[in-house]
Amino acid sequence: MVGGSPEKLSGILLKKQELRTLENQLAETGAVLERARAEQKATEDQVRVLENDLQKKTEQKNAVVQDEIEAQKAVYRTTEELKSARRNLEILGLEQEQLLGEAEDAEEEMEKYNAALGRIGEEVREAQKRVARLSGEIEQVSGEMAGFEERVMDIRLRLTAINAELESNTGSLRRLKSFQEDGASRLEQLSADIERKGLRLIEIRDRVSEHETGLARMYEEMRETEAELAGTEADYQAIDTDLTEKDTAVSEIQRRRETVLQKIRMVEVEQSQRQMRRENVENRTDERYHRPLAAFRPELPRMAGADLPPEKLPEALAQLDKKIKSIGNVNLEAIAEYEALKERFGFLETQRNDLVKAVEDLHKVIRKINRISQERFMKTFEQVNEKMGEVFPRLFQGGTARLILTEPDKPLDSGVEFMVHPPGKKLTRLTLLSGGEKALSAIAFVFSIFLIKPASFCILDEIDAPLDEANVFRFNELLKIIGEKSQIIMITHKRKSMEFADTLFGITMEQQGVSKVVSVNFETVQDDRTVAD
């Protein structure tokens, strides 16, 4: 038996045909989806390869930048050595001039002593002549010998004094000659040193030229690397755009697939409902007429009233009326309302499933972030405590300090207490210490964090202001250790801190409204003093 209008008799066949069409479309969609997934996987592999290349290029760029920094440092050191060599050369020139002056003075003294020696020789010769003449007179005049003996004795004493003076002048002459030889050897040594410094200067200039050439080459390599990196980034952006389009296409295919599956489910539900209605009709027909529904198929033309005799038409009509009454009132809008409600229910269910999945994914991401954050936090927390055990005793000359969690079971929600145990005192919190102890404890904490991963530069602004001289000394000793791996720039007014510095920069105002930078390099000053000594 069939109810309703005749136009809907072929609905099941149409639904089956539509179902087969949908199944074919589903298979095609699945194949397209598999190809899209394969393309997506290949694209993701390309993206990973490009990301690896990008990372390598970035590492190469960082290495080139580091080499550039090292080259700049080498150029700076070479420039400083060149300046020092020039200063040494100037000092050697001054010493050479001084030695030349001393040599000239020695030559003048030698000439003076030679002249004095000549005069003494003349006097000796005159005295000898005089003695010879007096001896002749003594031989001639023996009577006057007694009177001249005293004079001869005086002459002999004078001759002895002259001989002693001659020996003294001869010794002075030898000393002057020795001094001249020493001056000459020292002059030769200084000349050799000047020549060696000149060769050193030429070598330094060659090294500076090599470094400048290498620096230019490094700049060129860096520009090529940046250009290649820009091209790689452009390729990456293009692949990323293509991947986004692929994702959009995959999302659209998935959406169409979900729509097709939803339609298939609706068709299956509708087919199931039709089957249930058919089984219901068969059961009622079997219960009422004790015959299966298939047995009525040969009688359908007669039940339509085409072959019945007139006397049986009222009975058939009564039966049909009874059957129509048993069916009850028919809601013609029920199917449309059902379809609308079913579509609305499917949409809301899909939205709910998407929201539930998004919430689950979000919770997974939050748990992963919390886990990684907790691991890194605890690792850094232990490293800070370990460094605190090294830094704190240096500043306090003993004692201990440690960070503790107020809620150890909840590290991410816990507070942090700074427990300090200075030497000779009991364990206490940071807030209960004096001002200097607070400053030293804070410095120990900051430097403990800094030493875990030292930076290239460290800038401090009057960090030693609340410290006394003894604490400033210990603080600067610690600063020396940190300065082995980092360049430290510190603003300070403490004289002790200035004494520890390698270079000082000050601002002065010689004229009203005009500031001037004054700098002192202690290493250069020390080298100059050593050379002067």
DSSP labels, 327-360:
H----TTHHHHHHHHHHHHHHHHHHHHHHHHHHH
Residue 35 inside a domain? The answer is yes
What's the CA gap between 520 and 503, in Å, rounded? Answer: 6
Mean pLDDT, rounded, of the chain: 77
Q: Answer whether residue 245 is part of any domain.
A: yes
| Total number of domains in the chain | 2
Of the candidates 398, 375, 411, the one whose C-alpha atom is nearest the C-alpha of residue 474 is 398
Last residue of a domain, one of 186, 214, 249: 249
Determine the Cα angle at 65 with ends 62 and 71, to 5°: 140
Whether 518 is in a domain gets the answer: no
Domain check: are 378 and 243 in the same one? Answer: no
Q: Which residues contact 224 (CB under 8 A, 6 or more apart)?
A: none
Beta bridge partners of residue 402, listed in sequence order: 419
Residue 329: per-residue pLDDT: 67
Work out the pLDDT band at 532, boundaries 50, 70, 90.
very low
pTM over 0.95: no
Whether 195 maps to a domain, the answer reads yes
**Is residue 11 a part of any domain in this protein?**
no
Q: How confident is the model at residue 6 (pLDDT cuts 50, 70, 90)?
A: very low
CA gap 35, 38 in Å, rounded: 5
Q: What is the CATH number of the domain that holds 38?
A: 1.10.287
Q: Is the pLDDT of residue 112 over 50?
A: yes
Tokens of 264: 């298939």
Measured CA distances, 376 to 369, 373, 455 (Å): 10, 5, 19
Expressed as residue numbers, the domain containing 389 is: 374-486
Q: Please, are residues 449 and 404 in contact by the beta-carbon 8 Å criterion?
A: no
pLDDT at 362: 92
> Does position 171 have pLDDT exceeding 80, yes or no?
no
183 domain-assigned: yes
**420 near 441, Cβ under 8 Å?**
yes
Distance, in Å, from the CA atom of 498 to the CA atom of 347, rounded to the nearest integer, reads 75
Q: What is the mean pLDDT of residues 436-445?
A: 84
- Rg over alpha carbons for the chain, rounded to the nearest Å, is 57
Give percent of the chain with pLDDT exceeding 90. 5
Average pLDDT over residues 185-201: 77
pLDDT at 410 > cutoff 60: yes
Query: Lowest mean pLDDT: which of 309-313, 425-429, 441-445?
Result: 309-313
Residue at 168 is within a domain? yes
Q: Which of 347, 64, 81, 31 is nearest to 221 (CA)?
A: 64
Domain annotation covers residue 479:
yes
Residue 137 predicted with pLDDT over 80: no
- pLDDT bracket for residue 138 (50, 70, 90): low
Position 355 pLDDT exceeds 90: yes
Q: What is the CATH number of the domain that holds 409?
A: 3.40.50.300
CB 88 within 8 A of CB 197: yes
